[in-house]
Structure 1
Amino acid sequence: MLRTTLLGAGLAAFLTLPVHAGEAGDALRDNLYAGTFAQGIEQLTPMAEGGDQEARFGLGMLELASGVEHLVQALYRHGLVGPDAGMLGPLVTVPIPPNPSPEKLDYAKVRGILAQLVDDMDAAKTSLAAAGESGDYVVLIDPLRIRFDVDGDGQASDAESMRSIVERQLGIPLTPEPATQPAGSDKNPAQAPEAPDTTLGFDRADALWMAGYSQVLASHGDFLLAHDFSDLVNVAFHRLFPRAGLPMQDYSEGGSIFMEPRTDAAAADAIAAIHTLDWPVIEPDRLKRVLERLKAITAFSRANWAAILAETDDDHEFIPSPRQTATLPGSEVSQEMVDAWLKTLDTADAILDGKLLVPHWRFRQGFDLKAYFETATRTDLVMILTGYGAIPFLKDGPVASAADFAEANRVFGENLIGYAFFFN
């Protein structure tokens, strides 16, 4: 009797353990580490179509990675750099190496890059959403070993791994150098420190998280594509792509007005860019779709947290539940944080549904964000912010205030934005 009881308890415990990667997970990991995303997609597609949930996850993750790679390759192809503000130097650094021979860029090609991004993200969303519906798979992946063929030469090298990219951005090695011993010391030579384990266990909750982020990227693409923003490209994009043949390329340095030529030209381009933020809506269906995508993001976030809270394992968690161990330093989660985040999603949904209005500094009425996405014929950012452009979207009703975000501010404090990116 005791033996039967112990056997039953052991079987029950075994059934609650995560199921580690099988053939599909191995294929995913191999192709991520080799940077052969297209090959992996071809390999996993028939398995995913056959109903293998782990294969659906692998397919979605590779489609997501492939979409990011397509974007990065396009930015490299046209010579993206950090914008130079003259005496202030580059305003930001970009994780893309300089291209010695960039190709020409124009407004039509910018739209093509964005359209490709939207299509890629939607393909990934479909696979990842399906992978998040069910399944007890856990695929162990070290994100720093993922490689992207940044320069599009058909080879994803060590220099194009996430580890190398992050190290270049941070300016420090991720693996500490061994300590050196003083000359003449009789101590043993220092051993190279062991590289920290950066492996994460990806499961169906993470599939939903990635599906949400696919829509974050797609919403940005659709918002721009909904408008004619050609003037912005023509007057300012040479700051991002200085050798891509854009109209103002040869005038990045002119005469001096206030400071010195490079700085004054950069300031002039910034003013010109602001002046062009009056965009006609040329694809209203895309603008409406942005609203749908934003609502999908909150829905995926809810589904993600429902899946996280239902987990019974504790295996290299990316985003842990309050009962699980955080793998990433500083990523511990409490139930209070989960509750505050879910309440924030309620507020976001109310705003997206037009039930809660966005405050405008100039009016007692609120700005109906839903009406804007569904009916706007142009987006003049300056006029909306200053007042006149907001008038068509003003409405009587409850207006969001600090009280609607008080719980999130209390729990997350100054880290609210960071947690919002992390929690999605």
Structure 2
Amino acid sequence: MSSPLLLCLALPLAAGPQAAPPPADHGLSPVAAFLAGGDLAGAEAALNETLEKSPGDDDALFSLGVVKFLGGIEEFVQFLSAHGSTDRLGGLLPFARLPAPPNADPQPVSYEQWRQARVELIAAFDEADAVLAKIDGPVDVRLALAELRLDLNGDGSAGEGERVLSLLGRGGLQLEGRRGVRGDEPPAGDGLVTHFDRADAEWLRGYCDLLSAILETMLAHDAENWWNHCAHLLFAEPEGVPAYLLTDLGEGFSVGRIADAVAAIHHVNFPVREPERMSRARQRLLGMIGHSRAMWELILAETDGDREWIPGPGQSSSTGVTMSRERVDGWLTFLDEAEALLNGEKLVPFWRPQPADRADAPNGVNLRRVFEEPRRFDLVEWVQGPGAEPYLERGEATDPAVWRRLQRLFNGNFFGFAVLIN
């Protein structure tokens, strides 16, 4: 979830009243000051004015798509902050681990409000995607990533502690040894000036699909019972949770903390609430694969190569990431494998061995059916095996050697690279 928050793009317009000067002249868009001041509303208004005069302005379309994407993120983090987000699950629950600003007076929050916040986030991603889909020509915008701010606590201004990079935390994007983007360090040098182009429009559309797919999968299931037992691990004043669970357990080891951890696992037993969302999630993941392929086709055709967001072979990246041709080919292989799994053409290997005397025993999970025929999700049963049983089939399984090779290509950190590349 962290890396898409970095994709804030330069907007070709004049600065607004909260604008801060760019760190240096690297050909930054004049409207970079809007984002440096956290003024998304001003940026959107100015972009809409530009597009009224020039509907085919691809730079403006690109920038507007990004502003809408960031607007959704900003509103979601404001929701977390307003309700005293705590995330005592250590970042295990998607979209609950963003470091929202602390709130001394958190407001009560219900399970339905938590659902609605995620519904609205999907809507924001869909709005961004709809704008980006209108782009049909070159894009050329530049922005200093380290200068970008959002109004994360909803007080009407974006302060020094509300830089977009702060959402990365200490881990940041450390994909190449010690190089990369850190969220806990002050901006230095040129402020991570990055050149965004047409390929990055496909990147962001793919990310909208990926994040929406995760949200759709969560919303397809009803987690209210989990909420009533464990929501105090996410928010300061959750409704529906017994008062004794809201008591402060202090720091360090305690029986209460262990009990909460056990309960958080035990209650991951979700009935299906909106099954159509699972089918939509699969389609969004297939859409992400299509956008990723389109992105690499555009990147491999580029003749420049300075300060790229996602670099191709021989190109330099503003974040220190490198992509050799071998890595690119490996990524394209991953896309093929992922598509085959989502379409049920290959199976996810079942981890429990079958009886030796059953040559026709099922050997893998049909992932397509998991999405198209959703059932109650019980985490413990999936880990043990019975949860997967309705989807077990006999057929060609994905080759573990493919995934081992990907790990080697990406220095044992394929997942980290995948978070960035999508």
2:236 pairs with 1:242: yes
2:46 to 37, 43, 58: 43
1:275 to 266, 272, 292: 266
How far residue 377 of structure 1 moved from its aligned partner, in angstroms, is 3.0
How far residue 291 of structure 1 moved from its aligned partner, in angstroms, is 0.4
- What are the superposed Cα offsets for residues 275-296 of structure 1, whole Å, 9 maximum, x if unpaired? 2212111111111101011111
Whole-Å separation in 2 of the counterparts to 1:273 and 1:385: 15
**1:214 to 1:261, Cα distance in 2 relative to 1, 3 A:** closer
- What are the superposed Cα offsets for residues 119-164 of structure 1, whole Å, 9 maximum, x if unpaired? 1111112222333x421x3211011211111111221222322356
* 1:177-216 → structure 2 map (5 Å cutoff): 195-216=189-210
1:103 to 77, 102, 107: 107
What corresponds to 1:303 in structure 2?
294
**1:96 to 1:374, Cα distance in 2 relative to 1, 3 A:** same
* 1:16-31 → structure 2 map (5 Å cutoff): 22-23=12-13, 26=29, 28-31=31-34
1:230 to 224, 231, 237: 224
1:174 to 186, 198, 201: 186
**1:167 to 1:287, Cα distance in 2 relative to 1, 3 A:** closer
* 1:1-400 → structure 2 map (5 Å cutoff): 22-23=12-13, 26=29, 28-45=31-48, 47-48=50-51, 50-83=55-88, 95-131=99-135, 133-135=136-138, 137-162=139-164, 173-174=185-186, 195-252=189-246, 263-329=254-320, 331-362=321-352, 363=354, 364-400=362-398
**1:409 to 1:93, Cα distance in 2 relative to 1, 3 A:** closer
Whole-Å separation in 1 of the counterparts to 2:373 and 2:168: 42
Bigger mean CA deviation after superposition, 358-367 or 278-287: 358-367
Larger-Rg structure: 1
Q: Is the 8 A contact 2:381 2:387 kept in 1?
A: yes
Whole-Å separation in 2 of the counterparts to 1:314 and 1:304: 15
- What are the superposed Cα offsets for residues 317-359 of structure 1, whole Å, 9 maximum, x if unpaired? 1111113223322x12111110111011110010011001011
Whole-Å separation in 1 of the counterparts to 2:183 and 2:13: 37
**1:166 to 1:397, Cα distance in 2 relative to 1, 3 A:** closer
Taking only the aligned residue pairs, the percentage that are identical comes to 35
SS at match of 1:202: strand
2:407 pairs with 1:409: yes
Whole-Å separation in 2 of the counterparts to 1:389 and 1:312: 50
**1:326 to 1:26, Cα distance in 2 relative to 1, 3 A:** closer
How far residue 272 of structure 1 moved from its aligned partner, in angstroms, is 1.5
Whole-Å separation in 1 of the counterparts to 2:351 and 2:298: 39
Q: Taking structure 1 as the reference length, what is the TM-score of the superposition?
A: 0.81
SS at match of 1:414: coil
How far residue 58 of structure 1 moved from its aligned partner, in angstroms, is 0.6
**1:307 to 1:261, Cα distance in 2 relative to 1, 3 A:** closer
Q: Is the 8 A contact 1:47 1:55 kept in 2?
A: yes
**1:197 to 1:98, Cα distance in 2 relative to 1, 3 A:** closer
- What are the superposed Cα offsets for residues 78-130 of structure 1, whole Å, 9 maximum, x if unpaired? 00124189xxxxxx985322101111111111111110111111111222233
Amino acid across the alignment from 2:325:
Q
Whole-Å separation in 2 of the counterparts to 1:214 and 1:254: 37
- What are the superposed Cα offsets for residues 30-71 of structure 1, whole Å, 9 maximum, x if unpaired? 322221213322332354461111111011010111011011
SS at match of 2:412: helix
Whole-Å separation in 1 of the counterparts to 2:149 and 2:243: 32
**1:222 to 1:249, Cα distance in 2 relative to 1, 3 A:** farther
**1:167 to 1:286, Cα distance in 2 relative to 1, 3 A:** closer
Amino acid across the alignment from 1:241:
F
Q: Any stretches of 5+ residues in structure 1 without a counterpart? A: 1-19, 86-91, 176-193
Q: Taking structure 2 as the reference length, what is the TM-score of the superposition?
A: 0.81
Greater fraction of residues in helix: 1
Q: Is the 8 A contact 2:72 2:124 kept in 1?
A: yes
What corresponds to 2:420 in structure 1?
422
SS at match of 1:243: coil
Amino acid across the alignment from 2:241:
P
Q: Is the 8 A contact 1:21 1:138 kept in 2?
A: no
Whole-Å separation in 2 of the counterparts to 1:383 and 1:21: 49
Q: Any stretches of 5+ residues in structure 2 without a counterpart? A: 1-9, 15-27, 91-95, 172-181, 355-361
Amino acid across the alignment from 1:415:
N
SS at match of 1:130: coil
Q: Is the 8 A contact 1:359 1:367 kept in 2?
A: yes
How far residue 300 of structure 1 moved from its aligned partner, in angstroms, is 1.1
Q: Is the 8 A contact 2:11 2:31 kept in 1?
A: no
